């Protein structure tokens, strides 16, 4: 059983790492269920503790990650707020989350068949977002000006201490209205 420290909900699925209601990392165990007002335990007539029968057949609904709308900075804030021994678990829990961000171009490097694009949140100089796109059709990406804005849609592949790596990326330049 897991517990969310923010909304105090109890979740029966031990595999869950992030609260589906508010995105907060979950605690692994609950040692004293009677301390919570929203407990799932009821007293039976023979004073043995039993699970509420209405919950025995209930299956936890899967987390809808599309509802978790966090910016790269908010993702890193969640990781930094987690207990030291849980930070890697929180990082891994973001894998597979869909994102739709507006980011600032930093640089692009050509490899054999791909271009590695480095982006950052607008007006920040840390926590980069890395995207690999096919070389074909993107040969001129290294000519983009630093600071140009892009809409980036994709799936988080991995969150490491200094960057968020995206896969299945769609990148669209946002026109500069000042020209």
pLDDT digits (tens, 9 = 90+) for 132-170: 999 888 888 888 999 999 999 999 999 998 899 999 999
Task: List the one residue out of 101, 27, 21 whose CA is nearest residue 65.
Answer: 21
pLDDT digits (tens, 9 = 90+) for 28-68: 654 444 544 444 444 444 445 555 555 555 555 555 555 56
**Nearest-angstrom CA–CA distance, 128 and 126:** 6
> What residues are paired with 158 via a beta bridge?
165
Beta strands in the chain (DSSP E): 2-3, 10-11, 41-43, 49-51, 98-110, 114-121, 128-134, 149-159, 163-173
Domains along the chain with CATH numbers: 2-63 (no CATH), 93-173 (2.40.50.140)
The answer to whether residues 40 and 54 touch, using CB atoms and an 8 Å cutoff, is no
The answer to whether residues 128 and 120 touch, using CB atoms and an 8 Å cutoff, is yes
pLDDT digits (tens, 9 = 90+) for 113-128: 999 999 998 877 777 9
> What residues are paired with 110 via a beta bridge?
115
């Amino acid at each position: 059983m897991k517990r969310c420290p923010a909304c105090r909900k109890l979740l029966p699925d031990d595999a869950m790492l992030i609260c589906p209601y508010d995105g907060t990392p979950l605690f692994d165990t609950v040692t004293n269920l009677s301390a919570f007002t929203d407990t799932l335990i009821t007293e039976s007539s023979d004073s043995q503790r039993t699970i509420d029968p209405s919950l025995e057949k209930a299956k936890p609904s899967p987390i809808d990650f599309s509802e978790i709308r966090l910016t790269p900075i908010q993702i890193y804030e969640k990781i930094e707020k987690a207990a030291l021994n849980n930070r890697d678990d929180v990082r891994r829990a973001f894998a597979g989350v869909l994102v739709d961000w507006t980011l600032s171009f930093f640089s692009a490097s050509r490899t054999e068949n791909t271009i590695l694009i480095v982006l950052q949140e607008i007006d920040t100089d840390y926590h980069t977002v890395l995207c690999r796109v096919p070389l074909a059709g993107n040969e001129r990406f290294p000519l983009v000006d630093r600071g140009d804005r892009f809409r980036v849609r994709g799936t988080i592949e991995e969150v490491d201490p200094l960057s968020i790596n995206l896969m299945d990326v769609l990148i669209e330049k946002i026109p500069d209205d000042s020209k």
